[in-house]
Amino acid sequence: MSTTFAGKHWRPDGLAPMTQSAARYHLIHETRYNYESPVSLSRQLLHLAPRDVASGCAWQTCETHLLAISPEPTLQFARIDPFGNPVTQIALEAPHNSLRVRAESLIEVRPRTPDEQDSPAWEAVRELLAYGVLPVRLDAMRYLFESPYVRVKHEFAAYADACFTPGRPLLLAAHALMSLIHREFKYDTEATTVATPVLQVLEEKRGVCQDFAHLMLACLRSLGLAARYVSGYLLTQPPPGQPRLIGADASHAWVSVYCPAEGGGRWVDFDPTNDVVPDIQHITLAWGRDFGDVSPLRGVILGGDAHEPDVAVTVMPCENESLENHEK
């Protein structure tokens, strides 16, 4: 038996220019496995349906979502996971030599730039979370603690200490931490794997967006603050004079910090890989405690021997477009 774990993370060469209005995207995420020997049984969990208003993502609407799987699953059903993400479970019970999963969506993303000055002092937020004082939302409490890829240790609190000065508004302090990680850490696709401990990332100061998100989460949680891991996609700018290539994009990751407020509080996103506050260029797919909760495709198989996923992602801006206009 082996475990499949599909989903790569990437730092773009350049963000696309910011606009003030809502943006619409045609999104394709395709994963292919070619196995060295037949797989007799496969169970997979798919986080490939983007969140929208109905699942707590008020700034995003998933207009259409199509899922194509080959070979055809023996069993397939959709549900909501413990973090509110839409997921699909599949089972393949006939021998197969390959697996292809293609998710295609039309997404509208609306502006959501926060007012970072309008947030309480970070120590006040820590006290609210520590004692469960209202108006703390109970769903924030699950993001206070260690998870499989995120540690709570004094080393992380010490690293973030210069950003979280006494009385500083929470969102300004989180922004400063985001900028610090972006400034001091080198993006290096060869430095880490999904299993690299976050303490090693802190020591070696290199990694990819998944590592930087885990590091920022570790710093925030080590300070007693609630923060969650967000997976998704990022609109990027091709090199000057070059067309946007089909399949050349990739998954991305950032973090979201809980900020108490009247009416139950809000979550504010920060992207330490690019040192930006996510807005209409960031497409939200799922969120959880860390990468393990939201891997795009994860499961177990019997057989298969050596195999690696081939993942192709395309994020294409669009106007008046329907998925019916595209070949599946």
Percent with pLDDT over 70 in the chain: 88
By mean pLDDT, which of 8-12, 129-133, 163-167, 305-309 is the weakest?
Answer: 8-12
Regarding predicted confidence, which is higher, 10 or 176? 176
Regarding predicted confidence, which is higher, 104 or 117? 104
Structure confidence by residue, pLDDT tens digits, 35-89: 999 999 999 999 999 999 998 999 999 999 999 999 999 999 999 999 999 999 9
Provide the mean pLDDT of the chain: 88
> What is the pLDDT at residue 117?
78
- Neighbouring C-beta atoms of residue 79, cutoff 10 Å: 10
Query: What pTM was estimated for this model as a whole?
Result: 0.89
How confident is residue 131, by pLDDT bands cut at 50, 70 and 90? confident
DSSP 3-state assignment of 90?
strand
- Neighbouring C-beta atoms of residue 184, cutoff 10 Å: 9
Averaged pLDDT, 6-34: 68
Distances (CA, A) of 60 to 50, 285, 303: 9, 10, 40
* Domains along the chain with CATH numbers: 2-110+293-320 (2.60.40.2250), 122-292 (3.10.620.30)
| Whether the Cβ atoms of residue 121 and residue 168 lie closer than 8 Å to each other | yes
How confident is residue 250, by pLDDT bands cut at 50, 70 and 90? confident
167, 169, 171, 174 alpha-carbon torsion, rounded to 10°: -20
| Whether the Cβ atoms of residue 323 and residue 182 lie closer than 8 Å to each other | no
Percent with pLDDT over 90 in the chain: 73
